[in-house]
Amino acid sequence: MIRIAIVDDNSFLIKTVEEKLSFFDDFSVKISADNGQSLLDKLEKNHNVDLILMDIEMPVMNGIEATQIVKQRYPQIKIIMLTVFDNDENIFKSIKAGADGYLLKEVNAKDLHQGILETLNGGATMTPSIALKTLKLFRNPIDFENVNNEDEIQLTAREVEVLEQLSKGLKYQHIAENLFLSVGTIRKHVENIYTKLQVHNKLEAIQKAKNNKLI
C-alpha cells in the first residue's frame, strides 16, 4: 500500500484529488493538510508517508518552502508539486527545492496514478507542458533571484489603494465607501489583483504584495 499525503489550502481540491486516487487499490491517503506548516507538524508525529502531493500557493508556509524542509528532514519521501501554476519561476524554485515531479491539477486519475508510480520508481513525472518549460529553462537559465517578475509589479494605482485597504482588514463595503466606488468595482479590482499576483485569496495577495514592496 502506497501512503500518500495531500497538501492544499482548498478543501474541495483535496477531496477532488482523493476521489481520483480512490479508483486505485494501491493508494491510501494518510495525511491531508491545508498549508506547509500544518504538514510539517503532522509529519513530526508520523512521517510514514511515501509521497506528498504538494500545492504551491498556500498561506502560512507555501509548498516550495515546505518541500525544501521536508527534503532536508525526510529525504526518503517523494514530492510531486500538484498545482494550477505553471510559470517558470515556480517550476525552477520547485525543482531547486527538491521536488521529484510537477503536475497540473487538471491531470486525470490515470495519469496521476502513473505519475506517482513513476516517481516512486525513481522517475520524474511532469505534465508535458511543464517538461517543455523545464527544458527551455535549462537551455536558457534565468536568475530568478535577481530579476523582477514583471507580472508582479504591474498593479494600477487604484489596485494598490485597494490592496492597502485590504491589508488593514477592511471589508469590501468599507473600502468602497473610502474610495468612493461601488462594491462591485472593488470586487473587480480584487479579481484583477489576484490574477496579476497569481494568488487565490486575500492573505496570499497581501503577503505577496508586501514581499514585492507594492504596499
Q: What is the mean pLDDT of the chain?
A: 89
pTM value?
A: 0.66
pLDDT digits (tens, 9 = 90+) for 106-146: 899 999 999 999 999 999 999 888 888 777 777 776 665 55
At residue 81 the predicted structure's pLDDT band, cuts being 50, 70 and 90, is very high
Enumerate the H helices of the chain as residue ranges.
Answer: 11-21, 36-45, 63-73, 88-97, 109-120, 128-139, 157-167, 172-179, 183-197, 202-211
pLDDT above 90 as % of the chain: 65
3-state secondary structure of 39: helix
3-state secondary structure of 103: strand
pLDDT at residue number 151: 47
Answer yes or no: are the C-beta atoms of 80 and 101 closer than 8 Å. yes
pLDDT at residue number 141: 67
| Measured distance CA(212)–CA(147) in Å, rounded | 12
Angle ∠(84,214,193) on CA atoms, nearest 5 = 40
| Cβ neighbours, 10 Å, residue 90 | 22
3-state secondary structure of 101: strand
3-state secondary structure of 82: strand
At residue 197 the predicted structure's pLDDT band, cuts being 50, 70 and 90, is confident
**Lowest-confidence region among 50-59, 108-117, 147-156:** 147-156
Locate 134 and state its grid cell. Answer: 523545464
pLDDT digits (tens, 9 = 90+) for 68-78: 999 999 999 99
3-state secondary structure of 152: helix
Answer yes or no: are the C-beta atoms of 214 and 160 closer than 8 Å. yes
3-state secondary structure of 68: helix
